[in-house]
Structure 1
Amino acid sequence: MAISRERLVGVAATSPSVLLLFLWMAVPLGMTIWFSLQRYLLLQPGANTFIGLENYTFFLQDPAFLTSLTNTLALVGSVLVITVAGGIAMALLLNQPFFGQGVARILAISPFFVMPTVSALIWKNLLMDPTSGFITWAMSSVGLDPIVWFTDWPMLSVILIVAWRWLPFATLILLTALQSLDEEQREAAEMDGAGALASFLYIVLPHLARAITVVVLIETIFLLVIFAEIFVTTNGGPGLQTTNLAFLIYAQALLQFDVGGASAGGVVAVILANIVAFFLVRLIGKNLDGE
């Protein structure tokens, strides 16, 4: 079957961008796979040797891998629970008419636009500092002993910092979805005797289902590679308590100077992220098709 002139023009017009995008993704991934098959140590330049899958075996058998994987899942799951639940609550609050509503919405959303490094420094030095932080001052004011957050509760500290930054994103998406809710439907339910809780469970929450799935998908993709907050605050410690996969790969490459092992870890992380994304997309697809 002959190809039309218009289709040929369309293919010719889009081919450069498709080729550039393919190279943008394929070249770094190909180099990472190649390095992962070699013994490539920065402290031994020129001594690279092909070792096959030894880097993968070493990385997967390293006890730090399972610890970092558990920490990654704990971090992602905890932040998702906090941001989704908190985002729903804030969206409901900001959707109510009150004086200064516009300013309140801007202030509620603004933390998302703070760079991760800056937000981590704010929490580390201004809020959670055990001697001069605001939380320490507030606890001392009521007679409580201060908490050394990054020593006593390191993972909880990182979770709070990351959740603080991503909560505005969830709030924005959920507030936008909430504003499209048909108020007549809610008013009809109230006239039929439905209380606030019943109205929320059977009208508001189902209406927010799509927005919640979008929040979960987008946040999961970014939370799997959280790095700056950990690097600035705990540096993966104490021990391995806050080391996630991203920080473990960084430590392998730039602290242990093992580019081959770090490349193998990067490939493993990509595979795991794609597995998570596959199941999330299927779950979200079923959710959207069901509606």
Structure 2
Amino acid sequence: MSSHVSNHAKNSTHWMSRLLVMPSVSMLLLWMIIPLAMTLYFSTIQYNLLYPEDNAFVGFENYSYFIEDPGFWPGISNTLILVGSVLLITVVLGTLISVLVNTPFWGQGIVRILLISPFFIMPTVNALVWKNLLLHPVSGVFAHVWRFFGAEPVDWFAQYPLFSIIMIVSWQWLPFAILLLMTALQSLDQEQQEAARLDGAGIWSIFYHLTLPHLARPITVVIMIETIFLLSLFAEIFTTTGGGPGYETTNLAYLIYDQALLQYDVGMASAGGVVAVVLANIAAFFLIRAVGKSLTDHK
């Protein structure tokens, strides 16, 4: 009798918790489904803001035009190069800097704050600082350094536009990687490291056999979170190069913006948005599997 009452109480609690969560879940679903449904709808009609009355159904024609757009394949390749390069820079430098900063030294707290602070700067402000104060070919800091050594200043956004974007975005996201990896290092077993040192293990051996395996899980999380945000990178490109010269810095997000707000073609931009969502979900699928494998391997 008592077990029956206990099960009944558990079921009541279970259903009550579901009822309490239902409003927030419903709002979240509406917040996601309604924009997605509208995007799917607009992607199947011919809808240009200059001719709003002409909205004939065209099926998959917008998708075909978007894929055949001259900026589509450069947008895909630039997106992959941007995401891959920033991930490589932030993970490698983030790991090395985190290990260095984890060693006790005078002023360690101030250095940690300075390392993390760039992450809290807005992307647009970050891009403007790099564009006008650092990379400007006449008055920028890099130009003065070049002249000091007798070299000709580089017009970064004209000669190396994609590399310039990679530098800007890497500087913005490197503190995020440092923050997560530095936090993970706090739980590293110091006694195990000390025992390895007493056994004659060098710095590289300790890093490779102890530190790096310990950081495998947080590195995977850094890669997953950064990839999700980097796939939608826009502000830095809009503020500095405007997707140019040509399509050299145009990624998928900027190409969709160009279709929607510069060419006023909402139908094709919506088709591009659906394509971007599909690609992002494919990337998220593999990233989630990688995270799951990392968590399983390090239990």
Query: Same fold per TM (> 0.5)?
Result: yes
| Structure 1: stretches of 5+ with no match in the other structure | none
- State the 1:94 CA deviation: 1.2
What is aligned with 1:130?
A: 137
Among 210, 215, 221, the residue aligned to 1:208: 215
Selected match of 1:143 from 140, 144, 150:
150
Corresponding position: 1:73 with 2:83 = no
Separation in structure 2 between the aligned mates of residue 176 and residue 90 of structure 1, nearest angstrom: 12
Q: Percent of aligned positions with the same letter in both sequences?
A: 58
1:30 aligns with 2:37: yes
2:265 maps to a residue whose letter is D
Equivalent position of 2:227 in the other structure: 220
Shift of 1:252: 0.5
Gaps of 5+ in 2: 1-6
Q: Alpha-carbon deviations, 1:145-197, whole Å to 9, x = none?
A: 10000000000000000000000000000001111111111111111111111
Structure 2 residue aligned with 1:161 = 168
> C-alpha separation between the residues in 2 aligned to 1:83 and 1:74?
14
1:84 aligns with 91
Structure 1 residues 139 and 45: alpha-carbon distance in aligned structure 2, compared to 1, 3 A threshold = same
Deviations 1:43-95 (A, max 9, x none): 10211111101001111122311110000000000000000011011111211
Matches within 5 A, 1:29-108: 29-108=36-115
Could you list the runs of 4 or more consecutive aligned residues of structure 1 that deviate by over 4 angstroms after TM superposition?
none
Aligned residue for 1:229, secondary structure, equals: helix
User: Match of 2:151, SS?
Assistant: coil
Q: Give the root-mean-square deviation of aligned CA atoms.
A: 1.3
Rounded Cα–Cα distance in structure 1 between residues aligned with 2:246 and 2:269: 19
Aligned to 1:230: 237
Per the normalisation by structure 2, the TM-score is 0.95
Question: SS of 1:44's equivalent?
Answer: coil
**Cα offset, 1:8, TM superposition:** 3.0
Which residue does the alignment assign to 1:18? 25
Aligned to 2:4: none
> Counterparts of 2:12 and 2:101 in 1: how far apart (Å)?
53
State which drifts further: 258-267 or 60-69: 60-69
Matches of 2:246 and 2:75 in 1, distance apart?
11
Task: Write the deviation string for residues 183-216 of structure 1: whole angstroms up to 9, x where unpaired.
Answer: 1111111111111111111111111000100000
Shift in Å at residue 28 of structure 1? 0.3
Q: How many residues align?
A: 291
Q: Give the secondary structure class of the aligned counterpart of 2:267.
A: helix
Distance 2:239 2:65 in 1: 28
TM-score, with normalisation over the residues of structure 1? 0.98
Match of 1:187 in 2: 194
> How far, CA to CA, are the matches of 1:144 and 1:82 in structure 2?
27
Task: State the distance in 1 between where 2:43 and 2:192 align.
Answer: 57
1:276: which partner in 2? 283
